[in-house]
Amino acid sequence: MQSIDQAGTFKLGGRTVKRIGYGAMQLAGPGVFGPPRDREAALAVLREAVAAGVDHIDTSDFYGPHVTNQLIREALAPYPRDLAIVTKIGARRGEDGSWLPAYEAGQLEQAVHDNLRNLGVAAIEVVNLRIMFSIHGPAEGSIAAPLKVLADLQRQGLVRHIGLSNVTAAQVEEGRDMVEIVCVQNQYNLAHRDDDPLVHALAEDGIAYVPFFPLGGFSPLQSATLSDVATRLTATPMQVALAWLLQRAPNILLIPGTSSVAHLHENLEAGSLVLPPEEVAALDGIA
């Protein structure tokens, strides 16, 4: 059994996917802006991910912009029937590469159509509504207006399932009162554990939780404790960080990103790493 299969599966929208997927953000250029440094290497990573058993790819048309979706289409279309492609809308890129909110109805509709065109699909499996009320993380405020636009697109058959990203627990509750929410995508890792209660609440209701920046994102995780645990288990610190997430809750789906085939396989191998209770306790102390 491959490492990715040992991590198990969980429901995502209308599919059951493996708990280790792939995040395509790093395939764009520096700062997630512009083309990749090595286009052929980016295509190779996507093809190798699917060949290794990945059936859940996370992307967005504002990565690049347009770059990662065009790479995904070039590398993988026609898509395997069991491949779930998940995207997100609610942001746009400035000419300087800045990240800007894009919540107006026309912007959201255009974003869905951009994703459809660049991915080359008639409908998107899951679209996450990304909320950017604050640059510092989730911030309270009603999400009803943009979510209604996305729900209308779902009724048109362009979006199969809806998720939320960068949201508070109250916004998740508001969203679930309006439509079925199949996943929540927030920042969460060994050192950033604000969502502990939300992770468990969603698990009880069978809703997927997809942590972004599982390895720290633009500020990679660094901890003497993490390094010590990795040494004792003959693993890399990043493999330990991913394994901790897998053991944290059964509804956690991982989407670690990379532009390297070697690093891709390193991430997938985390699925076979079992953390003993005493190591989990040590890691829990990091936060």
- Just list the catalytic residues: 63
Which one-letter amino acid corresponds to residue 184? V
Question: Which secondary-structure segment (H or E) carries 160?
Answer: strand 159-165
Cα–Cα distance, 267 to 233 (Å, whole number) = 15
Structure tokens belonging to residue 1: 């059994």
Q: Scan for tokens 């395939």, then name that residue.
A: 27
Q: What does the longest C-alpha to C-alpha distance in the chain come to? A: 53
Burial 270-280 (b: 16+ CB within 10 A, else e): bbbbebeeebe
Strands (E), 30-148: 56-58, 84-89, 91-93, 99-101, 124-130
Question: Residues 168, 141: contact at Cβ < 8 Å?
Answer: no
